[in-house]
Amino acid sequence: MKQFEVPQYYKSSFISKIKESRKTNDPRKKDFSPTILDFGPVRFFIARHFGFCYGVENAIEIAYKTLEQNPGRRIFLLSEMIHNPGVNADLTSRGVKFIMDTSGKQLIEWNELKHDDIVIIPAFGTTMEIENLLKEKGIDPYRYNTTCPFVEKVWNRSNLLGREKYTIIIHGKHYHEETRATFSHGVQNAKAVIVRDIEETKILASIILGEREKEDLYNYFKGRLSEKFDAGRDLKKIGVVNQTTMLASETEAIANLLKETMIKKYGAENLKNHFADTRDTLCYATNDNQEATYGLLKQKADFAIVVGGYNSSNTSHIVELCENKLKTYFVSSEEKIVSSKQIRHYNIHTKEEITTFNFLPAKKPADIILTSGASCPDAVVEKVLQKILSFYNDAKKIEDVASLLL
């Protein structure tokens, strides 16, 4: 796999040793059990797979090379390049400005852009409408494009379905940049509808089967349907794609439900004429992170710490998986661990940061699961680990534990 030039301060020699050790001993990623780091009074169970993925490293390399190669020019990011506050803050400190926030709210008006400005497309991609708008201003939307190849793979799958007259069912969060982009690209050749989860898919299935009125589709999925969508005409042939950071198990359940729905309506012998049996479009890193999380959760631990941006979809799904098994703290950096008695962490359900006291167990050793999302630098994960270690005066030195890895 290609090696990217990522700023050194995002890296961690300690985390690199952990990953290199696992890669050497398990090159085909068949073992998703955690790496155990025993520091004496505290033990960490580190996920088999976590941190920067191909698409994120690609985006970071392009962004920093763009800054380096264009001194004096105005450089804009269409929105957050990746969902990590540290990376985006660093780019902002270097003069990069954001045109929109993650929800699409305009921060800089389009009329402020000039033809010689640089606009970087984030890893999530962007809509056809914005691409055309940039072209009209004389700005090449593809010159500094960091769109993840796995997102583009979803677009290509959508285009193929459209050419074969299938309606695209997109499993994703309709407000997410990637899903907005996939929807925009998909409707160039096909009808499309966005479903958030299995419950919404059940509603769609009941409409297909005629158990609900067609008007329910327009009311319930308002704002998530392509133009002039006809419930009677456009749900006869369907295929499923997804936002690449969604839960794989949920995408599979959605596809299976819709497949069974089409069998029920048209018969198994006619299924191929009504349901495109596409393979999951989840990216490899999201899938590996989720599989590694399942492997982590086989381990008994006192609690889990998940590190990443609070608006990171793939990270929130890791948190969701962990929460089903044990107490989980979602933090954006080591700064959220205020002391051995206090931790500030994000509640993905209420969308707010909360404080928990006395989070460390009195028992020794304390057993802690540690992982991160695909947009979190390894350096931040190490800082979280070191912050926890600082609370144990009798803990082994990190270099001594590191020496046992290889």
| Full DSSP string of 54-101 | HHHHHHHHHHHHHHHH-TTS-EEESS-SSS-HHHHHHHHHTT-EESB-
pLDDT at 9 over 80: yes
> Does 191 map to a domain?
yes
Lowest average pLDDT, out of 318-332, 358-372, 392-406, goes to: 392-406
Whether the predicted pLDDT of 152 surpasses 90: yes
Cβ neighbours of 300 (radius 10 Å): 10
- Regarding whether 327 and 227 lie in a shared domain, the answer is no
326 falls within a domain: yes
198: number of Cβ within 10 Å: 16
> Are 99 and 108 in contact, with CB atoms under 8 Å apart?
yes
In this structure, the answer to whether residues 153 and 271 fall within a common structural domain is yes
Residues 244 and 195 in one domain: yes
* Contact assessment for residue 167 and residue 191, using Cβ atoms and an 8 Å cutoff: yes
Q: Is residue 142 part of a domain?
A: no
pLDDT for position 406: 62
Let me know if residue 325 belongs to a domain: yes
Question: Is there a domain that residue 1 lies in?
Answer: no
- Quick: pLDDT tens for 334-376: 999 999 999 999 999 999 999 999 999 999 999 999 999 999 9
Query: Which residue range forms the structural domain that includes residue 15?
Result: 8-53+284-402
The pLDDT > 70 percentage for the chain reads: 99
Task: Please tell me the pTM assigned to this model.
Answer: 0.90
- The residue among 29 and 132 whose pLDDT is bigger is 132
Same-domain pairing of 310 and 360: yes
**Residue that terminates a domain, selected from 229, 255, 276:** 276
Mind listing the pLDDT tens digit for each residue in 247-263?
A: 888 999 999 999 999 99
pLDDT digits (tens, 9 = 90+) for 91-117: 999 999 999 988 888 999 999 999 999
> Which tens digit of pLDDT belongs to each residue from 256-282?
999 999 999 999 999 999 999 776 677
Q: Residue 227 falls within a domain, yes or no?
A: yes
Catalytic member of 57, 177, 178, 334: 178
**Domain end position, chosen among 257, 276, 295:** 276
Known active-site residue 252: no
Same domain, 214 and 262: yes
Identify whether residues 210 and 328 lie together within a single domain.
no
What pLDDT score was predicted for residue 285?
80
pLDDT at position 280 is 64
